């Protein structure tokens, strides 16, 4: 308990606090966070939702009156559907690749007793300290037509003309995986660390090879970490703006790029808002479906 | 029924030798305990047998096959861990089935084996529970059943009772012992609890600093300890230092000490003038008001310093002539008071001689 101020008894201070405050301390402690979230998350969100039903106008943010035209256009025009589909596919593929690369790294980091464990941590976390723009420029240096990779391959005589590694889906993919990998590794790492290593030894003592141990014991038990990592990477990917802008092309856009284009270039705020909202809903739907499927797998295993 | 032979086993961690030239032969169906304080190498030895540690030198043979280099999953062992290591995402039945599944044993035979194992550990009806829903003792028994259901060649237990409360631990000792005898499986049991080792083992292997200090059945280890360290680790002891005065007969010697001459039993030949230590167990000492007159009895005068009750024993601390204090365990109805002058007497046959 805190030491009361000199000369003032604790009972006196307590008496100054109204009864209704004392009995609702938990609620009151919540309040600042709730206010923050409502102000900076909920209000803009609702604002955007309302915006998406307004009539678009090129001379002002919006014209008077409400309409559902924005949604009709977004959902019926194949072009927008295509962009949405591409965005979601990017999300899934990036998540899958991050999972394939990230899981072994997380497992190794969780189980290794090497002295260089700290270095590996630093290697995974330090890129997060560097801004995403700088990291993308790093990739440009490597992936450009006259970049390091192409240069080396051409000089080594392995290829004749440069490989198109950038300003296309491949470039975007590389950037996305590179930047979001730590977000996959860290939750999985936490999950695996909470698994008693004796469980793996027990499985081996019962006749399971290391591979079988991995699939029958470690993977099912680290599923919560995989879920967290996958959701994080997926959501980050479908809303990624900077990476596709820097490493992608303007001919083939994904949803966030399109939304910004509509907002800033075309100044069609209601329509942009509608697309943004559709992206949110689609993302949420995918995440919920993912959780449902993986939870059933968890239950099935026992 | 598998014979386990360890020869020349050595394992170093950095500069420290966790195991140093260990040689051990375990007969078929025998239960031996590796007993010693933390860091003595008992767990490392067990893990080498299991295959989770690779020794630097030596051989480990299951019957006539050297299994060093063989992965743990190929050694056909059953292991019970201190934390039980039950798979939390599987029911009891699925836990037991795991090993059988790895051996492609399924269907009716798997059902039958699981049923028998569950009955053997007295957990019938609990097969659809999850480990988190079981008590510590029940989880322990599931861990046992899981190790035995696969019918391994060797059973390894790593301080399996350490996480249980005292009463349960005592019950489980007898349970494990009778189960092991019924199944007849060669078993290596690691523990730091000497009471446990005494109750459960056919033979005890006492280890200090990676080396075997003494090997033998519980009674021998207790009444004929090989060294001061062993005597000090198992049960309570009173030590008296002295020099060998002379040999009385084939196995009895007279030792000159600061408390007078003491006759004792020795397993080895002692030379005249050799520095030795005498071990007297507290329960061997009888307290008398008058000096007893009996053949082959050592009697020392002393003064009672403290009396305490152990329930089934009365404990005394007796100060002797040279200032040393004896710990005595007498029958619970004796009533010597603090300050009483009494005689401590102990039979020569129950007084054991070891190296200084």
Element (H, E) at B198: helix B194-200
> β-strand B203-208 against B211-216: which pairing, if any?
antiparallel
- pLDDT at residue number A299: 64
Considering only A158-162, A268-272, B158-162, B277-281, which range has the smallest mean pLDDT? Answer: A158-162
Cβ of A225: how many Cβ atoms within 10 Å? 24
Percent of chain B at pLDDT > 90 equals 62
Interchain proximity B83–A198, CB inside 8 Å: yes
- Average pLDDT over chain B reads 91
Q: Cα distance from B21 to chain A (closest Cα, Å)?
A: 25
For the stretch B187-231, pLDDT in tens is 999 999 989 999 999 999 999 999 999 999 999 999 999 999 999
Record the pTM.
0.83
- B88 and A CB contact within 8 Å: yes
- A224 and B CB contact within 8 Å: no
Q: Which residues of B touch A207 (CB under 8 A)?
A: 73-74, 76, 99, 102-103, 150
> β-strand B260-266 against B252-257: which pairing, if any?
antiparallel
Contact A253, A261 (CB under 8 A): yes
- pLDDT at residue number A257: 87
Q: What is the pLDDT along chain A (302 residues), one digit of tens a residue?
A: 555 556 667 777 667 777 777 777 888 888 888 899 888 988 888 888 888 888 877 777 777 778 777 888 888 888 888 899 999 999 999 999 999 999 999 999 999 988 888 899 898 988 888 889 999 999 989 888 888 888 888 888 887 788 888 888 888 999 999 999 999 999 999 999 999 999 999 999 999 999 999 999 999 999 999 999 999 999 999 999 999 988 888 777 888 988 888 888 888 888 888 888 899 999 999 999 999 999 887 766 54
Average pLDDT rounded to a whole number, residues B9-20: 90
Interchain proximity A206–B102, CB inside 8 Å: yes
Contact B77, B158 (CB under 8 A): no
Contact A276, A53 (CB under 8 A): no
Which of A199, A202, A217 is nearest residue B79 as measured by Cβ atoms? A202
Q: Which two tokens stand for residue B197?
A: 């080792």
Q: Cα distance from B228 to chain A (closest Cα, Å)?
A: 36
Interchain proximity B89–A208, CB inside 8 Å: no
- pLDDT at residue number B206: 95
For the stretch B112-157, pLDDT in tens is 999 999 999 999 999 999 999 999 999 999 999 999 999 999 999 9
Who wins on pLDDT, B155 or B235? B155
């Amino acid at each position: 308990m805190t030491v009361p101020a000199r000369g003032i008894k604790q009972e006196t201070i307590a008496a100054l606090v109204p009864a209704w405050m004392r009995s609702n301390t938990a609620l009151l402690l919540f309040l600042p966070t709730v206010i923050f979230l409502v102000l900076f998350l909920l209000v803009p969100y609702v604002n955007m939702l309302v915006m998406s039903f307004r009539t678009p106008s090129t001379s002002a943010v919006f014209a008077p009156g409400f309409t559902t035209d924005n949604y009709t256009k977004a959902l019926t025009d194949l072009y927008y559907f295509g962009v949405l589909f591409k965005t979601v596919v990017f999300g899934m593929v990036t998540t899958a690749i991050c999972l394939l690369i990230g899981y072994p790294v997380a497992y190794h980091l969780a189980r290794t007793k090497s002295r260089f464990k700290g270095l590996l941590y630093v290697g995974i976390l330090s890129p997060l300290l560097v801004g995403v723009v700088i990291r993308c420029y790093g990739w440009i240096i490597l992936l450009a037509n006259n970049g390091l990779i192409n240069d080396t391959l051409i000089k080594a005589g392995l290829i004749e003309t440069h490989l198109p590694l950038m300003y296309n889906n491949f470039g975007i993919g590389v950037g996305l995986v590179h930047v979001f990998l730590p977000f996959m590794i860290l939750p999985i790492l936490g999950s695996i660390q909470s698994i008693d290593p004796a469980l793996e030894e027990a499985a081996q003592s019962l006749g399971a090879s290391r591979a079988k141990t991995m699939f029958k014991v470690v993977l099912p038990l680290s599923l919560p970490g995989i879920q967290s990592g996958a959701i994080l990477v997926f959501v980050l990917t479908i809303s990624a703006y900077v990476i596709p802008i820097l490493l992608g092309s303007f001919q083939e856009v994904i949803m966030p790029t399109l939304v910004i284009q509509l907002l800033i270039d075309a100044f069609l705020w209601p329509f942009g808002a509608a697309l943004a909202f559709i992206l949110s809903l689609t993302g949420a739907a995918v995440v919920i479906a993912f959780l449902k499927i993986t939870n059933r797998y968890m239950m099935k295993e026992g | 029924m598998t014979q386990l032979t360890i020869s020349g086993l050595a394992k170093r961690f950095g500069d420290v030798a966790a195991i140093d030239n260990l040689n051990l032969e375990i007969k078929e169906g025998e239960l031996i305990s590796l007993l010693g304080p933390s860091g003595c190498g008992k767990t490392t030895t067990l893990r080498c047998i299991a295959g989770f540690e690779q020794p630097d030198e030596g051989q480990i043979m299951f019957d006539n096959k050297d299994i060093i280099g063989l992965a743990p999953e190929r050694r056909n062992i059953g292991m019970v861990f201190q934390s039980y290591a039950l798979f939390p995402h599987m029911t009891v039945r699925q836990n037991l089935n795991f090993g059988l599944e790895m051996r492609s044993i399924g269907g009716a035979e798997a059902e039958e084996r699981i049923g028998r194992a569950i009955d053997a550990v007295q957990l019938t009806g609990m097969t659809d529970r999850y480990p988190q829903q079981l008590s510590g003792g029940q989880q322990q028994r599931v861990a046992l059943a899981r190790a035995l259901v696969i019918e391994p060649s060797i059973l390894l237990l790593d301080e399996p009772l350490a996480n249980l409360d005292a009463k349960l631990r005592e019950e489980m000792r007898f349970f494990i012992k009778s189960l092991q005898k019924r199944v007849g499986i060669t078993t290596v049991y690691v523990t730091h609890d000497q009471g446990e080792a005494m109750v459960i083992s056919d033979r005890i292997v006492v280890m200090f600093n990676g080396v075997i200090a003494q090997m033998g059945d519980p009674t021998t280890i207790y009444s004929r300890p090989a060294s001061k360290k062993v005597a000090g680790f198992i049960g309570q002891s009173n030590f008296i230092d002295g020099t060998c005065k002379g040999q009385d007969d084939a196995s009895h010697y007279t030792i000159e000490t600061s408390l007078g001459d003491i006759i004792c039993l020795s397993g080895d030949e002692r030379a005249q003038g050799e520095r030795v230590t005498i071990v007297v167990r507290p329960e061997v000492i009888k307290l008398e008001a008058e000096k007893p007159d009996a053949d082959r009895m050592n009697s020392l005068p002393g003064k009672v310093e403290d009396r305490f009750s152990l329930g089934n024993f009365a404990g005394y601390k007796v100060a002797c002539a040279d200032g040393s204090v004896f710990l005595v365990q007498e029958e619970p109805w004796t009533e010597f008071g603090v300050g009483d002058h009494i005689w401590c007497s102990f039979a020569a046959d129950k007084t054991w001689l070891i190296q200084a």
